[in-house]
Structure 1
């Protein structure tokens, strides 16, 4: 009996001092962004949360509050509850204190200054004369099956003007069973990274992608995050952000010295950085700075927003060079606070984002992308010869045929049984669903073709409509590589039901040099063209289900054209064109051109043309299929020179034309984007109206607004009437900003864009253009509007208003309302 009382006393005593461990996370009330290193007070004891805002506390009295303090926020007092093991504490901004900017302390500020000053000697690409290494990279789209609920739910599907439909949803159950067996997707590659004082190059030594015999080459150039922590701007998801160890970055970030730790036996400062605006979605992270040479020894980066991003960089210290060289890089992307899906490799994957400790059990909230890359066979400061230095990434044919024995050397995790099953399962799925064929087909369609045996059918030539021809039916095609790798023949034929005329053309071509994709071609066509239209011949060909502007055009000219030309990508980052053409032109409207006292109702123009498309900031990849622009960066530049040939092939006029265009697009991590299009042209000499500039008008000359409703063009002036302005020199500027989609319900998700367009022009008075009247734009043409695109299944509405010197007297005449359509091929 005495043992019973002894046990009872021990139990009661233990109960009095029992503790409950509670975990928590501190986040911003508005943005849900974690607040790092906030001060926590419990039972007169102070400690700090970690850099993710997480903490744990042993609670022995639930009547004692947990107090949280952080500069710029109101104090938060929370009482723990006995049965709640995880808590989320949301701090509210102190608006009075928020107005005062938070400054970095002088001590840590000096450390960051020394990091920036020593960047050239610490960055391996600048501090070393040369290096090369092989790199193994493994990407997977996966989910933790333990975090997915297997419950079968009852859902109610909304229906338009009808009662909701009740259904059983087994998505979570099926997803859990699937993810227990395999990953959702995976791919791996081994590449050789080379660097010397002049250039960098990546050569793919081996690659395999689940479900594909031939890889999706665009993935091999996918740069989800910068290789170097010193790179500025730092790139995340191919979007530039300001590096925290740059001079401008110091103006954007606040730094805090946490402590000093040991890495590879060397002391390192542990410094946390965050945006000076506490609720901003910019980069946050931890930097481990070597206390002796001020190099980065380890780094963690994180972004919270549309997507949540985690990146970890680790380094090895090399005594012989006093350099911290890359050791490992990990990158994880999960769904953030957006409601749209994130796409990869043509498929749609939904990623997790919940910052609260109580995780969602929905299947679509648990998937994520992770990438890990590890260098090996490292060689430093040895002579390196880089072949084909003009190509940033090279993918030789041999890299596509590596056997399983080659990949066995990179099996780092023998416990990951899902990895092998993923290849087997997705390869089988790819065969049954013909996924690889769909990707091949998608590449063709996005360029406007559909492959049939030895021909690629030209989808844009099948049916068209305009006011002159009415409906235009035709067929066009080009031979493909199944017939010959060296030769191709493009041809088309069409018939206009309104003008009752046939049009046709043929272009045989020969591949003179495969690596530079140099084609030599000859062409003959008898067709019609829009007057005063400027086409940049090096522009890429993209598929359109319809071409909206010509629908309402009535003024065309017939052009019988014979030409010989060369197209090439020989120059780095440049597409070039050189051609000679002979054009027999007959205006199909009432027009007479008076030049030097002589009248012309039809005429002959022989020209030589030189054109370039230069993308200096883009990067290119050499693949067995040819060159691919895998990093499409801006700005891009187009230059086109046209000169008539006096006295050659019965040429009637002497004139020169210079056309220039540049386009810049800036994407944001929020999903929004801004763009600028600047285009200008000048024509010298005796230029007929067919070869002047009309600056892409797209408005009908009708009285009522609704009578002018038609399809909107991509970059056309929507309030400018057809044939209203002609110029022999002009400059136009277009500014756009596109916001994120707005979800209104029942698949109605409009995307708003604000647009401003302006143009200036003038005309040469030395020539007479009889039969057609027009204005000039010396004072400037202006219009602005709002595009509400993709409201439902790609259909939208746009509205523009015309103002400035050429504003019309009637208010209604300055308004243009159009229908827009965007075709999403999912590629």
Structure 2
């Protein structure tokens, strides 16, 4: 009898282990409840979705449940050790999982949340003077929800055949996915709080992807720097949007909460709280968080942004995070998993999954490093590319799952399908603007063909070398021909990259072409937002066109993370193609008139941007902008008469400041303040011509109700302001909220003037007394002003602005108001 009892206790105990994953993505589901049906015996899954449960129960059914997923059951065999895996299907009604009702008794979750608020300063990692950690990052991008109609397309048949042969990627009950990209990286991350600076040294990378041949750019963006999620911030930046944290200062206004349970996790007794936004269209989360009883800190959190939020193309964003306490009491993430589920645009297309995983080890609180150490926010090791699998087996923080091994295998197969090669080449060409042919890039293709009233039809061919040719030298050139003016235009240039660490370049350029006065942005204007506008101004009737020939020498250096400087030496000859005259001797009002003129000038440009960061793409550098601080710019130009044919002496200064202000709940503001002055009397073509906009396209670099070349200034000051409310206002309008439109407000104001002495030297008539085209001058104290209101996110792609001109309505030919359209693709 005793022997039977011993054998039953030892050999008859039920032990079940396995993994719980998402049926649509194949990702693990941490924190899910696994329990024997009809009992209180249960365990949660760990961060990687694994569980191990043992015990006895009357039933033979194992249950798995988790918020946002359908509950699933499976039969198990009693008295033996076994493996049972679960795949859960997402539930469409996750936001309705709990209901909060008003009553006399206060919600018990509120007392816990007040304690969380009180302890936030102590628990927030940003209070640490400095810390460091080793980081392992893994990114996977897949195509999912491939429709039957899409699979039947001719170009998809071979791809579908590969997909059908490896459907195990999504698991036994899951949907097949088509992997496009998977990467791994090892890096070292550094942080200091005063001033707030961070740096990542990307040590090793491994990239496998369809259409990915050179991973130098991608290697810089797959590390820990782009996976920093801190729920102790009131607002978190995700896919360029600001999301309210469930422990934000305004928590009671934004969220509803339920105290669901208490549980011990990693030796910490925790309260389990459910949360969801009061308004389901707010950029906020629904999910669970585990709050420690001792420190009232987040131990674990599972937060999801669902498709009801005012986001485009996004089905779901899920962030799962596990944190540990470090010395001095603050909590740092040790594991983070992020899923971005991009919805299908049409029912004939497919969706995308982007999956990010970060593991941090060797977390250490340290003394702050010198600020110079942080000059380069992202530093890529010269020997970073590592494809030896034995190295990764020894150094990656977690083993690859069978699913991820299958993903790599499928990508290698897909890369060799001819139709895939063709489509990836076309996609890269469209995105880059150039066709890559070995060591050369041909293009840019948007300038291949054009038409205007001076040249008629214009064709252009050109190109540049890329880093396959040299990482030190880049050469570029183009040739264009106009069929009406029957003239060739061309340009040549060379750049020497002397230092890629402290970005230092020297360049020389020659151009002989055609342009127009009053359209070119000044030295401080960001043209990124006006590309479409500038392209349109090159078509049709050119405004005050001129031919030119220019020689330019330039040098640039990034002296520190914040400060950079550049110098340009330019000699340029102008040949106006419209009625224009100037006094050849500006000091004599009766001096002979001239048409063509030349300038020889030196320009010094300075920029101070305290927290600007960059990544290097091929042989160029891309700014990622600033996070919190404004960007200050200044330029000084000195023109020399008699040097290399220059016709004028002059000094010009321009000053500017711009900033993007994230105001959380209220939206995002952008402002730009510019001012400038030209000290000498000059022909009006060399003064500041403010950019007007007679096109139907809205642009941020122009005054949108001002005519082309309507105003010219010798001294000026301007303010451009735009506020994007997001869904703050229109989300609350019952009949409009379903459209997910977003309100925009704009306002521009310009002060300027021209001295009387400068006006006196302008030529009003030609040699025969015929009137010449002139310009308007802003009156002292009377600015040009316009305000506007717009709606963006129309059909997810378009923006419409109504702009009202407030001043100088008496000028001939002006329109008091204008409606402008623009293409605006945003999430």
TM-score (normalizing by structure 2): 0.68
Tell me by how many angstroms 1:350 deviates: 1.8
1:556 aligns with 2:545: yes
In the alignment, what sits opposite 1:295?
297
Tell me by how many angstroms 1:726 deviates: 1.9
Aligned-partner Cα distance in 1 for 2:804–2:390: 67
SS in 1 for 2:579: coil
SS in 1 for 2:339: strand
5 Å-filtered alignment, 1:776-815, equals 776-778=777-779, 779-783=782-786, 802-807=804-809, 813-814=815-816
SS in 2 for 1:402: coil
Tell me by how many angstroms 1:608 deviates: 1.2
C-alpha deviations, 1:65-111, integer Å up to 9, x for none? xxxxxxxxxxxxxxxxxxxxx9979989999989x9x9998733540
SS in 2 for 1:807: coil
SS in 2 for 1:582: strand
Q: CA 1:714/1:466 → structure 2, altered by over 3 Å: closer, same or farther? A: farther
5 Å-filtered alignment, 1:588-599, equals 588-594=577-583, 595-598=586-589, 599=591
5 Å-filtered alignment, 1:673-822, equals 676=671, 678-699=673-694, 715-728=701-714, 729-733=716-720, 735=722, 737=724, 756=746, 758-760=748-750, 761-768=752-759, 769=762, 770=764, 771-778=772-779, 779-783=782-786, 802-807=804-809, 813-814=815-816
2:357 aligned to which of 372, 392, 398: 372
Unaligned ranges ≥5, structure 1: 1-49, 58-85, 158-168, 343-347, 352-367, 700-708, 742-748
Q: CA 1:798/1:572 → structure 2, altered by over 3 Å: closer, same or farther? A: same
In the alignment, what sits opposite 2:209?
210
5 Å-filtered alignment, 1:441-452, equals 446=431, 448-452=433-437
C-alpha deviations, 1:15-60, integer Å up to 9, x for none? xxxxxxxxxxxxxxxxxxxxxxxxxxxxxxxxxxx99489999xxx
In the alignment, what sits opposite 2:59?
none
In the alignment, what sits opposite 1:282?
284
1:528 aligns with 2:514: yes
1:426 aligns with 2:411: yes
In the alignment, what sits opposite 1:195?
190
In the alignment, what sits opposite 2:614?
620
Aligned-partner Cα distance in 2 for 1:334–1:210: 19
In the alignment, what sits opposite 1:702?
none
SS in 1 for 2:489: strand
- The RMSD of aligned alpha carbons is 5.4
In the alignment, what sits opposite 2:441?
456
* Equivalent pair of 1:640/1:659 in contact (CA under 8 Å): yes
1:655 aligns with 2:657: no
In the alignment, what sits opposite 2:603?
609
Aligned-partner Cα distance in 2 for 1:737–1:731: 20
C-alpha deviations, 1:485-543, integer Å up to 9, x for none? 43343333334444454433333333322334422223333333322344345857898
Aligned-partner Cα distance in 1 for 2:424–2:661: 28
Aligned-partner Cα distance in 1 for 2:437–2:93: 59
Tell me by how many angstroms 1:820 deviates: 6.1
C-alpha deviations, 1:547-590, integer Å up to 9, x for none? 11133323123433333211344542666431122233343333
Tell me by how many angstroms 1:441 deviates: 7.2
In the alignment, what sits opposite 2:140?
139
* Equivalent pair of 2:271/2:293 in contact (CA under 8 Å): yes
Aligned-partner Cα distance in 1 for 2:301–2:394: 28
1:332 aligned to which of 339, 360, 380: 339
Aligned-partner Cα distance in 2 for 1:434–1:339: 22
Aligned-partner Cα distance in 2 for 1:266–1:92: 26
* Equivalent pair of 1:639/1:660 in contact (CA under 8 Å): yes
Tell me by how many angstroms 1:129 deviates: 4.8
In the alignment, what sits opposite 2:119?
115
In the alignment, what sits opposite 1:312?
320
In the alignment, what sits opposite 1:5?
none
SS in 2 for 1:220: coil
Aligned-partner Cα distance in 1 for 2:383–2:166: 34
SS in 2 for 1:547: helix
In the alignment, what sits opposite 2:535?
547
Aligned-partner Cα distance in 2 for 1:715–1:499: 31
* Equivalent pair of 1:653/1:686 in contact (CA under 8 Å): no
Tell me by how many angstroms 1:299 deviates: 2.5
Aligned-partner Cα distance in 2 for 1:724–1:718: 12
Aligned-partner Cα distance in 2 for 1:197–1:756: 37
Aligned-partner Cα distance in 1 for 2:146–2:435: 43
TM-score (normalizing by structure 1): 0.68
Aligned residues: 687
